[in-house]
């Protein structure tokens, strides 16, 4: 079981005020919620206008300090200078104020192909609090291949950070439901909204097959939601869904094998018919 909090924020024009607001949200959530990880939207609380050096940025140092003092773990967005280009990062900071994972956006939209540098860390899945967490940044969500890749890498849940244009919010939401359904993985989706409302909040936690565990209904309202996710339950259900239609790579020992023992006997026997080698994993 892992408890995830998704925080929907308003992105102002001042990076300094965005950082102050982020600190206040971390402190507020730490005081009011029992959670393993607090997630913010793409690049939040930073911006493309002021890229920095992740390991030397005083703004990041402040967030590390807040994590230590509040005993909070956070997933933030960050824009890193990389020569004459930039990297769009998802950064995980633990309760000790340590950066334990960074993932660079690697599916680029439009002119991002010229502006974004290749990722310094191509690993999309991080092991944290006993869970394999897949990371997705914005445009990546729109491609079924990317979601499938996260599943094949052993993800047990996916956290997707986005900046969602208001004009396609409904479409984006439909795509999100599809990713949950086709991979049978819970998704935590977080996005901020801006003052001009060009970008909408779309902050929700969706569990398989496509049940909304929690959602912030108003796309232009700040707030946070928290859900307790029983990852073993979702993994067991995933095995039970049409085994003949799924590739054997989804049943690799060491990633999903431990969950097989939790399946009902009749479902397990059905799986064995399709994948006899599974017996060595149980």
Flag whether pLDDT at 89 surpasses 90: yes
Statement to judge: residues 264 and 220 lie in one domain: no
Strand order in the sheet with 125-128: 125-128, 131-137, 157-162, 187-191, 204-207, 211-215
Give the residue-averaged pLDDT of 54-70: 96
Among 12-16, 62-66, 175-179, 234-238, name the one with the lowest average pLDDT: 234-238
Flag whether pLDDT at 251 surpasses 80: no
Statement to judge: residues 117 and 9 lie in one domain: yes
Flag whether pLDDT at 221 surpasses 90: yes
Query: Could you give phi then psi for residue 182, rounded to 5 degrees?
Result: -75, -25
Within a domain: residue 235? no
Statement to judge: residues 142 and 213 lie in one domain: yes
Flag whether pLDDT at 65 surpasses 70: yes
Q: H helices of the chain, where?
A: 15-32, 58-70, 112-115, 144-152, 169-183, 231-240, 257-260, 265-274
Q: Is 170 exposed, middle or buried (0-12, 13-18, 19+ CB in 10 A)?
A: exposed
The encoded tokens of residue 266 equal 């009749």
Q: Is 210 exposed, middle or buried (0-12, 13-18, 19+ CB in 10 A)?
A: middle
- Contacts of the segment 112-117: beta carbons below 8 A, 24+ positions apart: 112/88, 112/139, 115/85, 115/86, 116/85, 116/86, 116/87, 116/88, 117/82, 117/83, 117/85, 117/86, 117/87
Q: Residue 258: its pLDDT value, please?
A: 44
Whether the bond between 209 and the residue before it is cis, its omega within 30 degrees of 0, is yes
Q: Residue 182: its pLDDT value, please?
A: 85
Residue % of the chain over a pLDDT of 90: 59
pLDDT, tens digit, 9 for 90 and up, residues 142-199: 988 888 888 878 889 999 999 999 999 999 999 999 999 888 899 999 999 999 999 9
Average pLDDT, the chain: 85
Give the residue-averaged pLDDT of 126-144: 91
Give the residue-averaged pLDDT of 253-269: 53
Within a domain: residue 236? no
Query: Could you give phi then psi for residue 135, rounded to 5 degrees?
Result: -115, 135
Flag whether pLDDT at 95 surpasses 80: yes
Asked if 45 and 15 touch (Cβ cutoff 8 Å), the reply is: yes
Statement to judge: residues 92 and 205 lie in one domain: yes
CA distances from residue 210 to 186, 187, 193, 213, 234 in whole angstroms, order as listed: 8, 9, 24, 9, 12
Q: Residue 113: its pLDDT value, please?
A: 81
Flag whether pLDDT at 271 surpasses 50: yes
Within a domain: residue 234? no
Give 117's pLDDT tier (boundaries 50, 70, 90).
confident
In the chain, DSSP assigns E strands to 2-8, 10-11, 37-39, 74-82, 85-93, 99-104, 125-128, 131-137, 157-162, 164-165, 187-191, 193-194, 199-200, 204-207, 211-215, 223-229
Domain count, the chain: 2
Statement to judge: residues 86 and 225 lie in one domain: yes
Flag whether pLDDT at 266 surpasses 80: no
Statement to judge: residues 34 and 173 lie in one domain: yes
Statement to judge: residues 126 and 12 lie in one domain: yes
CATH code at position 143: 3.60.110.10
Statement to judge: residues 180 and 256 lie in one domain: no
pLDDT, tens digit, 9 for 90 and up, residues 227-245: 999 888 777 666 555 555 5
pLDDT, tens digit, 9 for 90 and up, residues 96-115: 999 999 999 888 788 888 88
Higher-scoring residue by pLDDT: 184, 138: 138
Statement to judge: residues 100 and 208 lie in one domain: yes
The domain in which residue 207 lies consists of 2-229
Within a domain: residue 11? yes
Place of tokens 């300094």: 16
Statement to judge: residues 157 and 224 lie in one domain: yes
Q: Residue 183: its pLDDT value, please?
A: 84
Q: Residue 108: its pLDDT value, please?
A: 79
Statement to judge: residues 224 and 249 lie in one domain: no
Asked if 44 and 19 touch (Cβ cutoff 8 Å), the reply is: no
> Of 179, 139, 189, 185, which is closest to residue 159 (Cα–Cα)?
189
């Amino acid at each position: 079981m892992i408890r995830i909090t998704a925080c929907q924020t308003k992105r102002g024009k001042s990076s300094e005020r965005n950082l102050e607001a982020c600190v206040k949200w971390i402190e507020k959530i730490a005081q009011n919620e029992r959670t393993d990880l607090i997630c913010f939207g793409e690049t939040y609380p930073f911006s493309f206008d002021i890229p920095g050096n992740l390991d030397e940025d005083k703004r990041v140092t402040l967030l590390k300090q807040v994590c230590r003092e509040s005993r909070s773990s956070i997933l933030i967005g960050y824009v890193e200078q990389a020569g004459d280009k930039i990297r769009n990062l998802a950064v995980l900071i633990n309760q000790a104020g340590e950066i334990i994972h960074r993932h660079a956006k690697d599916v680029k939209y439009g002119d991002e192909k010229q502006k974004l540098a290749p990722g310094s860390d191509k690993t999309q899945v991080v092991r944290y609090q006993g869970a394999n967490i897949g990371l997705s940044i914005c445009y990546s969500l729109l491609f079924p291949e990317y979601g499938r890749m996260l599943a094949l890498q052993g993800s047990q849940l996916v956290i997707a950070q986005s900046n969602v244009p208001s004009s396609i919010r409904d479409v984006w939401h439909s795509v999100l439901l599809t990713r949950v359904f086709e991979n049978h993985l819970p998704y935590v989706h977080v996005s901020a909204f801006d003052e001009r409302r060009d970008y909408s909040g779309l902050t929700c936690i969706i569990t398989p097959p496509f049940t909304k565990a929690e959602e912030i209904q108003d796309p232009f309202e700040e707030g946070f939601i928290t859900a307790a996710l029983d990852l073993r339950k979702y993994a067991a259900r995933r095995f039970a869904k049409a085994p003949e239609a799924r590739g054997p790579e989804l049943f690799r020992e060491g990633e999903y094998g431990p969950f097989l023992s939790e399946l009902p006997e009749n479902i397990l026997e059905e799986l064995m018919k399709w994948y006899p080698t599974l017996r060595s994993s149980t």
